Amino acid sequence: MKVDGKDIRTIWLDKDLKVVKVIDQRLLPHEFVIVDLKTVNDVINAIKEMYVRGAPLIGVTGAYGVYLAVLTCPDKTIKDGYLIKECNRLKSARPTAVNLAWAVDKVLSEVLKVNTSLKIDAARKEAARITDEEVENCKKIGEHGLCVIDKISGRKRGDTVNILTHCNAGWLACIEYGTATAPIYAAFEHGMDIHVWVDETRPLNQGARLTAWELGKHGVKHTVVTDNAGGHLMQHGMVDMVIVGADRTTCTGDVANKIGTYLKALAARDNGIPFYVALPSSTFDWILRDGLKEIPIEERDPDEVRYVQGLVQGTTKSVLVSPVGSPAANFAFDVTPARLITGFITERGICKAEEQDINRLFPVH
């Protein structure tokens, strides 16, 4: 994607092949800072503290974390046991997005297959392959999702299509295009009249800070709304469809995504509005069947709820919102049951949120 005219991805390997570069997303939209990750600890910290976030990007960062584990291994024989331990540390950096374990395990398995002298190359190549595959998958999600938007646009005789999204499932959450935003960018490129309602997404405001920023940079019409506005907008015919991303999807179609997604799905169902989840296959957890019971929901520092970050006289600052001493709880994700989801937009096409139809698109997993 372009930032101020320059093509940029959310993660890349520096020319010397020793440093992984990422955007520090904690500082957006007011500061654009690139950070160097040189060790496994740097990668774990970047994922935990959310310099990088969003399921596909967390996965790819984890993949490069395995590369750094091999590259910086203190023992030149690069023992399997050491790598497996480092990979376990990487996988536990954040619990909900399944892409992290998926990508780490993929790189690890390539590294374990080859002799010591080939391990660095094997890790780098697999991390790069996963990165390119995620880019390609997001591009295809855009193409498939475009058809859905096109139909709505046709029904509205070219009138503005209003799409509501939650959190940031944009290119910042991925490598390019995004998942929920890929169909939006595709529709925009095709000259369709679209407008995006951007949920602010408390507590960390990924919608207000990140989705609004990237849509703005791209020139897509959008409006930031409070998290609680969606139901009202839907009741008054101001939303034609909802598209969100996913952090983990069971083989039966339940979806974990940013906290508040479930409430949007309920409101969409009550108002007869299509509710789509855009996801690459790396977000499927093929083992889990019951999202509510089985998907681990991350609980983060309550201070993320108590404080809000923003620009104060040109400097990014945190301010305390709640009374000093009031307890807060910070559940980072919720689960939307399959029954509330109109369909999945995947790299292989669109399917229902049902095991049989998911298996039609993904017979082998």
Taking the complex as a whole, the smallest distance from the CB of residue 256 to ligand MRU amounts, in Å, to 8
Helix (H) or strand (E) holding 133: helix 116-155
- Residue holding tokens 């774990």? 44
Nearer to ligand MRU by Cβ, of 26 and 106: the residue is: 26
Catalytic residue among 227, 240, 247, 334: 247
Question: Does the protein bind ligand MRU through residue 56 (CB under 6 A)?
Answer: yes
Round to whole Å and give the CA distance between 283 and 100: 9
Q: Nearer to ligand MRU by C-beta: 161 or 246?
A: 246
247 is catalytic: yes
Applying CB under 6 A, what is the total number of residues that bind ligand MRU? 17
Single out the residue of 10, 137, 257, 282 in contact with ligand MRU (rule: CB under 6 A): 257
The nearer residue to ligand MRU, 61 or 153, going by C-beta atoms, is 61
- Structure letter (DSSP) for residue 226: -
Dihedral sign computed on CA atoms, order 297, 240, 253, 146: negative
Stretch that binds ligand MRU, among 169-177, 226-234, 345-353, 355-363 (CB under 6 A): 169-177
Q: Is 175 in the site for ligand MRU (CB under 6 A)?
A: no
Nearer to ligand MRU, 67 or 177 (CB): 177
Please choose, from the candidates 93, 103, 99, 94, the residue with its C-alpha nearest in 3D space to the C-alpha of residue 66. 103
Number of residues that this document lists for the chain: 365
Confirm or reject binding of residue 336 to ligand MRU (CB under 6 A): no
179 belongs to the binding site for ligand MRU (CB under 6 A): yes
> Which is nearer to ligand MRU, 78 or 98 (by Cβ)?
98
Q: Which residues contact 26 (CB under 8 A, 6 or more apart)?
A: 49, 50, 51
Q: Is 61 in the site for ligand MRU (CB under 6 A)?
A: no
User: Residue with CB nearest ligand MRU?
Assistant: 245
How many angstroms separate the CA atoms of 301 and 145, rounded? 35
Q: Binding to ligand MRU by residue 277, rule CB under 6 A?
A: no
Q: At what angle do helices 55-71 and 99-113 cross, to 10 degrees?
A: 30
Closer to ligand MRU by CB, 122 or 343: give it. 343
CB of 115 to ligand MRU, least distance (A): 36
Nearest-angstrom CA–CA distance, 104 and 82:
14
Site string for ligand MRU, 189-208 (x = CB under 6 A): -----------------x--
CB of 138 to ligand MRU, least distance (A): 8
**CA pair distance 291, 267, nearest whole angstrom:** 20
Question: Which member of 174, 208, 255, 340 binds ligand MRU (CB under 6 A)?
Answer: 174
The answer for residues whose C-beta is within 8 angstroms of residue 356's C-beta and 6 or more apart is none
Q: Which of 203, 204, 208, 133 is nearest to 170 (CA)?
A: 208
Residue pair 56/34 in contact (Cβ under 8 Å)? The answer is: no
The residue among 123 and 164 lying less far from ligand MRU, judged by its C-beta, is 164
| CA-angle at 53, arms to 49 and 58, nearest 5° | 105
* Interaction mask 232-251, ligand MRU, x per CB under 6 A: -------------xxx----
Measured between alpha carbons, how far is 248 from 332 in angstroms, rounded to an integer?
Answer: 13
Catalytic positions, written as ranges: 247
List interacting residues with ligand MRU (CB under 6 A): 53-56, 97, 167, 169, 173-174, 179, 206, 245-247, 257-258, 332
